Amino acid sequence: MPAKRATQREFDQEATHEAHASYTHKKESGTLRCTINIETFGTYTSIRRLDVDFFLQLANKKTVTIGELIAWYVRKDELTAKDIPAWIGELLGARAKASDENFTAELRMVSKMLYTKSGEPSDSVQQYSQQLATPRFVFIEMFKLFEDSRGKGLGPQVLNEDDNIVSVLSLARDASTEVANKYTDVQVEQKLQAQYAKSGYATWVQGDPDVDGSVTIMGRIVQ
């Protein structure tokens, strides 16, 4: 959403922000709005949790909720008291088990697929090393448009951002329960890849179609 949104510095603080943008699709027009709730998480100092709700108000109609997103904002430039990047130990190292570990499992898994233990881009994604060298990135854990809001061009609009920041997401083949009776997991993944491609995402890591639970990672640099 290209209108006013939280800046990278504002993402450092716990707060709630709002953004809005105009919407036009075929004969419909109105206003898109989102609320972004930013929270610190557990004992982690390098990440912020973003909970986002999306709303649409068409001309002369009530505002309706159209979708939601959960993401993690990773601050690679956050240092410990010993001047060591905190994210390396928190996301790439072996942390002691704590009550919050299950909530960050996917973020830590994707981070380890993209980076080495020292925080350098992995060999498998060297072609994207420039993008991955940025001091901060966003990992989208969940994005969902509600059924009544699909097919209206809303996905690319709500995923659009201003900040010059890397955004990545993962597609796990065992997470397709909504359409499991209609499509195979591989077909679901292919459809999702096509949908996210409309929002500027490219496949950075392709999962193995013969391995259950294999993960595909898509990414983009948001400008």
| pLDDT tens column, 119-174 | 999 999 999 999 999 999 999 999 999 988 988 888 888 887 555 578 999 986 54
Sequence letter at residue 21: A
Distance separating alpha carbons of residues 114 and 119, to the nearest angstrom: 9
For residue 168, the model assigns a pLDDT of 92
Statement: residue 177 has pLDDT above 60: no
Longest Cα–Cα distance of the chain, Å, equals 58
Query: 65 is written with which tokens?
Result: 């909720």
How high does pLDDT run on average in the chain? 84
For residue 73, the model assigns a pLDDT of 94
Query: 55 is written with which tokens?
Result: 């709303």
Query: 104 is written with which tokens?
Result: 């960050």
Query: 160 is written with which tokens?
Result: 């659009």
Statement: residue 67 has pLDDT above 80: yes
Confidence band for 45, pLDDT divided at 50, 70 and 90: very high
Confidence band for 6, pLDDT divided at 50, 70 and 90: very low
Mean pLDDT calculated for residue range 75-94: 92
For residue 179, the model assigns a pLDDT of 52
Please enumerate in sequence order all residues whose Cβ is within 8 A of that of 213, keeping only pairs 6 or more positions apart, or say none: 172, 173, 174
For residue 10, the model assigns a pLDDT of 54
Confidence band for 212, pLDDT divided at 50, 70 and 90: confident
Statement: residue 111 has pLDDT above 80: yes
Distance separating alpha carbons of residues 17 and 9, to the nearest angstrom: 13
Tell me, what DSSP letter sits at residue 155?
H
For residue 2, the model assigns a pLDDT of 43
Please state the length of the chain: 223
For residue 50, the model assigns a pLDDT of 93
pTM summary value: 0.85
Distance separating alpha carbons of residues 105 and 98, to the nearest angstrom: 12
Which of helix, strand or coil describes residue 59? coil
Helix boundaries (H) for 49-200: 86-87, 105-114, 129-132, 154-159, 185-197
Sequence letter at residue 124: S
Statement: residue 39 has pLDDT above 70: yes
Identify whether the C-beta of residue 11 lies closer than 8 Å to the C-beta of residue 48.
yes
- Where is mean pLDDT largest: 20-34, 63-77, 164-178? 63-77
For residue 5, the model assigns a pLDDT of 46
Q: What share of the chain is helix, strand, coil (3-state, %, to 5)?
A: 25, 40, 35
